Amino acid sequence: MRKLETSINLLAQFLPERSFEMIAPFFLSHNIHLTLTRERKSVLGDYRNPTPEYPHHRISINVNLNKYSFLITLLHELAHMLTYTHFKNNVPPHGKEWKTQFRHILVPFMGKRFFPADVEAAVLSYLQNPAASTCTDARLYKALYRYDDRKPGYKLVDDIQLNGVFEIEDGRRFQKIEQLRTRSRCKDIKTGRMYYFQGIVEVRAVRA
């Protein structure tokens, strides 16, 4: 099975301690079907509005997320639900209406130690202009990444030392030549060609 519908009673185990009490009212006041799904490369979560065939709000969250990413992603999708409730499909998916809803439901979680200090600082910065995905905000992405369960040797390109060697998913190896503001200039070890990698790309560090 790719997906598993989740009981609200099981939700607490995926969230930071004590945060479930602030999440539960959304499920009590709205007809929401929450689904946990395997890792998806392109999205962390998804919201679908009610239809005649499925007369309930549908939210899916990737089950592999750490608890801080899970909470932020869930609030992101709940903000979509609230935006739909107020405006239906008459506003852009991540327009000012959604940004307002997202800020409104995320701010109450600040200052209550639900997040580590580095994540909370990154969230507060992100909230100035929240984007469609946390993956587009390098500071927040890197802060959350620190709390992921990762295989040994995996790290972000930004964390590879200069002249260090890393391997990407297809097996090609690169040497990090220059660190730029948001990207790194890297040399394909086999061909000698230069490529630019975004700093938040996950790679496997290897010995030269």
What is the band of 25 on the pLDDT scale with cuts at 50, 70, 90? very high
Provide the residue ranges of all domains of the chain, joining segments of one domain with +: 3-145, 154-206
- Residues contacting residue 37 through CB under 8 Å, at least 6 positions apart: 2, 3, 4, 60, 61, 62, 63
Helix/strand/coil for 105: helix
Pairing type for strands 32-37 and 57-62 reads parallel
Is pLDDT above 80 for 208? no
Confidence band for 203, pLDDT divided at 50, 70 and 90: very high
pLDDT at 4: 45
Which one, of 8, 137, 28, lies nearest residue 72 by Cα? Answer: 137
Residue-wise pLDDT for 30-85, tens only, equals 999 999 998 777 789 999 999 999 999 999 999 999 999 999 999 999 999 999 99
Determine the average pLDDT of the residues in 148-161: 93
Q: Where are the beta strands (DSSP E) in 13-137?
A: 32-37, 45-48, 57-62
Task: Determine the pLDDT at residue 1.
Answer: 35
pLDDT of residue 39: 79
pLDDT for 2: 44
Least Cα distance to 66 among 156, 160, 134, 5 occurs for: 134
Per-chain mean pLDDT for the chain: 92
The 10s digit of each residue's pLDDT in 173-195 is: 999 999 998 899 999 999 999 99
Class of domain 154-206: mainly beta
